[in-house]
């Protein structure tokens, strides 16, 4: 799989030699349509594998199309060259952006502690610190990015309303932040969304729309409704303002543990690990940043290995918050530069981690949020002789699920 990139404004790259691409934009009025130079066919990019438009702070945009196979007449698979695209993405989320996000959201959210856990340090052979974002407002780190986005939204646009696609945590975070500003909010969730997360979003005043079973299905509906209703679409992980907000977790870790050796972060779409990695590497580049994905939903691990975004057609895991079918483009590029490794854990390891956190740390953490601890307990990430910070990304766990888990600790 190749990544074919094309600027919506080719003049932006007039200094870059244009290769003989097999496909080129038809015109600027419809960025979805590409024409084949070989036979004048017009193809819809959305029908190939998918597309994203990323708006930089300066208002410029990049069109990204995933092509199943190399682009005809092109050896590199990418124009502008991959290095230029990476430079642009790198500039979208910086350590300064994260510091500004920290100042912007200060006073509205909790500053969660970083707690040294002797219960997890002993078996790891080092010092293991827990960062319980499960105790954050709305029960997860997602409120950081949602708040940073909404506080930068033009009030007139906000009053028309906002919309999000979410497995649950991002949706209730957007709903909460929107309620603070008095903005209408709609959230598209999967048909099988956690009742706890759905009711929380409704409690914040959101319209909850159940749709589909995959992240792609939710995104498509949310984007269509945003266009039809004139709503501001807030992406869960592929937006620079959201990523900068999530990166404030990394700033707090550095303040509490300046000599941290490694930071372990659950990975879904990649927004959290992208922001945390940018923050950590800017101040302590020698520290390792390690992501943890479920075995059945390791899209970022596979993408980084392939050097291009890879889709997981049917991601499966007990960790419902870590099931995007593909990572975001921004997280993919930022992770390629700042993340040291991605490991995977099984559902059984996730369940054991949830129980261990409940028994040893008295913390209620959902399987998605327990991924880092699962990696430590299973030995997938070594904590020996290291100062390790583990982000517990969420704690929105239903009592029904917890009771079933305690009855069958292996999660089967």
CATH code of the domain covering residue 301:
3.40.50.1100
Q: Read off the pLDDT band of 152 (50, 70, 90).
A: very high
**Share in percent of the chain as helix, strand, coil (round to 5):** 45, 20, 40
Q: Quick one: which of 406, 388, 156 has its CA closest to 287?
A: 388
Q: Are 146 and 173 in contact (CB under 8 A)?
A: yes
Q: Is 412 among the domain residues?
A: no
Per-residue pLDDT at 254: 98
Q: Quick one: which of 390, 265, 232 has its CA closest to 340?
A: 265
Do 135 and 267 sit in the same domain of this protein?
Answer: yes
Distance CA 101, CA 80 (A): 30
Which residues are part of the catalytic machinery?
142, 393
Q: Average pLDDT in the 227-231 region? A: 93
Say which residue the tokens 């590497």 belong to. Answer: 281
Q: Count of domains in the chain?
A: 3
Q: Is 395 among the domain residues?
A: yes
pLDDT, tens digit (0-9, with 9 covering 90-100), for 295-346:
999 999 998 888 777 888 889 999 999 998 888 888 988 999 999 999 999 9
Q: Is 192 among the domain residues?
A: yes
Do 123 and 251 sit in the same domain of this protein?
Answer: yes
The pair of three-digit structure tokens given for residue 132, joined into one six-digit string: 């319980």
Strands (E), 139-287: 162-165, 185-189, 207-210, 232-233, 262-266
Q: Read off the pLDDT band of 409 (50, 70, 90).
A: low
Q: Is 23 among the domain residues?
A: yes
Q: Average pLDDT in the 119-134 region? A: 97
Q: Of 42-46, 81-85, 178-182, where does mean pLDDT reach its minimum?
A: 42-46
Domain interval for residue 26:
2-92
Say which residue the tokens 């990304």 belong to. Answer: 393
Q: Quick one: which of 213, 240, 242, 223 has its CA closest to 163?
A: 223
Maximum average pLDDT range among 42-46, 238-242, 396-400: 238-242
Per-residue pLDDT at 19: 37
Our measurement of the distance from residue 201's CA atom to the centroid of its chain's CA atoms, rounded to an integer in Å, reads 19
Q: Is 119 among the domain residues?
A: yes
Q: Read off the pLDDT band of 90 (50, 70, 90).
A: low
Q: Read off the pLDDT band of 410 (50, 70, 90).
A: low
Q: Average pLDDT in the 355-376 region? A: 97
Contact partners, residue 346, CB within 8 Å, separation at least 6? 294, 295, 378
Strands (E), 365-404: 387-392
pLDDT at 130 over 60: yes
Do 395 and 259 sit in the same domain of this protein?
Answer: yes
Do 337 and 351 sit in the same domain of this protein?
Answer: yes
Q: What kind and span of H or E run contains 43?
A: strand 42-44
Do 34 and 166 sit in the same domain of this protein?
Answer: no
88: Cα within 13 Å, side-chain hemisphere: 22
Q: Average pLDDT in the 153-173 region? A: 94
Per-residue pLDDT at 213: 84
Burial of 233 (0-12, 13-18, 19+ CB in 10 A): middle
Q: Read off the pLDDT band of 124 (50, 70, 90).
A: very high
Q: Read off the pLDDT band of 244 (50, 70, 90).
A: very high
Do 313 and 366 sit in the same domain of this protein?
Answer: yes
pLDDT at 73 over 60: no
Do 397 and 310 sit in the same domain of this protein?
Answer: yes
- Write the Ramachandran bin of 309: left for phi over 0, alpha for psi from -120 to 50, otherwise beta: beta
The answer to whether the peptide bond before residue 165 is cis (omega within 30 degrees of 0) is no
More confident residue, 57 or 273: 273
Do 210 and 329 sit in the same domain of this protein?
Answer: no
pLDDT at 44 over 70: no
- Write the Ramachandran bin of 247: left for phi over 0, alpha for psi from -120 to 50, otherwise beta: alpha
Q: Read off the pLDDT band of 393 (50, 70, 90).
A: very high
Q: Which of 209, 240, 271 is the last residue of a domain?
A: 240
Distance CA 35, CA 25 (A): 6
pLDDT at 71 over 80: no
Per-residue pLDDT at 147: 98
The pair of three-digit structure tokens given for residue 207, joined into one six-digit string: 């319209």
Per-residue pLDDT at 178: 97
Query: How far from 137 is each of 173, 208, 320, CA to CA, in Å?
Result: 8, 19, 19
Q: Is 41 among the domain residues?
A: yes
Q: Read off the pLDDT band of 398 (50, 70, 90).
A: confident
Q: Average pLDDT in the 133-143 region? A: 97
More confident residue, 58 or 171: 171
pLDDT at 401 over 90: no
Q: Are 268 and 237 in contact (CB under 8 A)?
A: yes
Do 112 and 69 sit in the same domain of this protein?
Answer: no
Q: Which of 194, 221, 240 is the last residue of a domain?
A: 240
The pair of three-digit structure tokens given for residue 298, joined into one six-digit string: 């390791």
Do 213 and 250 sit in the same domain of this protein?
Answer: no
What integer best gives the mean pLDDT of the chain?
Answer: 81
Q: Of 2-11, 126-135, 195-204, where does mean pLDDT reach its minimum?
A: 2-11
Q: Are 64 and 5 in contact (CB under 8 A)?
A: yes
Per-residue pLDDT at 159: 96
pLDDT at 33 over 90: no
Do 182 and 317 sit in the same domain of this protein?
Answer: no
More confident residue, 360 or 85: 360
Q: Which of 192, 220, 240 is the last residue of a domain?
A: 240
Do 85 and 99 sit in the same domain of this protein?
Answer: no
């Amino acid at each position: 799989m190749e990544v074919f990139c094309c600027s919506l404004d080719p003049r932006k790259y007039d200094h870059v030699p244009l290769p003989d691409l097999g496909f080129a934009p038809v015109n600027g009025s419809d960025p979805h349509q590409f024409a084949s130079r070989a036979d004048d066919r017009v193809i819809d990019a959305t029908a190939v594998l998918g597309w994203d438009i990323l708006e930089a702070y300066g208002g410029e945009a990049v069109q990204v199309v995933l092509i199943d196979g190399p682009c005809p007449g092109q050896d590199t698979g990418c124009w502008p060259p991959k290095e230029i695209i990476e430079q642009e993405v790198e500039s979208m989320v910086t350590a300064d952006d994260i510091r500004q996000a920290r100042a912007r959201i200060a006073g509205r959210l909790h500053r969660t502690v970083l707690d040294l856990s002797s219960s997890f340090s002993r078996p790891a052979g080092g010092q293991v610190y827990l960062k319980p974002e499960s105790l954050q407002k709305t029960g997860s780190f997602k409120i950081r990015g949602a708040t940073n986005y909404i506080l930068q939204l033009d009030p007139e646009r906000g009053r028309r309303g906002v919309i999000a696609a979410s497995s649950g945590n991002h949706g209730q975070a957007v709903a909460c932040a929107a309620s603070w500003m008095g903005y209408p909010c709609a959230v598209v969730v999967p048909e099988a969304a956690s009742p706890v997360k759905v009711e929380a979003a409704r409690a914040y005043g959101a319209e909850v729309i159940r749709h589909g079973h995959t992240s792609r299905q939710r995104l498509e509906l949310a984007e269509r409704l945003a266009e039809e209703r004139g709503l501001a679409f807030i992406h869960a992980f592929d937006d620079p303002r959201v990523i900068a907000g999530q990166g404030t977790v990394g700033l707090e870790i550095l303040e509490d543990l300046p000599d941290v050796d490694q930071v372990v972060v659950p990975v879904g779409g990649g927004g959290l690990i992208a922001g945390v990695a940018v923050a950590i590497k800017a101040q302590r580049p020698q520290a390792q940043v390690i992501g943890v994905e479920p075995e059945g939903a390791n899209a970022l691990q596979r993408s980084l290995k392939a050097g291009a975004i890879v889709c997981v057609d049917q991601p499966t895991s007990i960790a419902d918050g870590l099931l995007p079918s593909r990572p975001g483009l921004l997280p993919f590029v930022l992770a390629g530069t700042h993340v040291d490794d991605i490991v995977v854990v099984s559902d059984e390891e996730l369940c054991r981690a949830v129980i261990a956190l409940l028994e040893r740390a008295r913390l209620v953490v959902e399987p998605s949020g327990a991924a880092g601890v699962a990696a430590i307990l299973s030995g997938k990430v070594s904590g020996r002789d290291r100062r390790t910070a583990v982000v517990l990304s969420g704690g929105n766990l239903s009592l029904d699920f917890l009771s079933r888990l305690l009855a069958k600790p292996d999660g089967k």
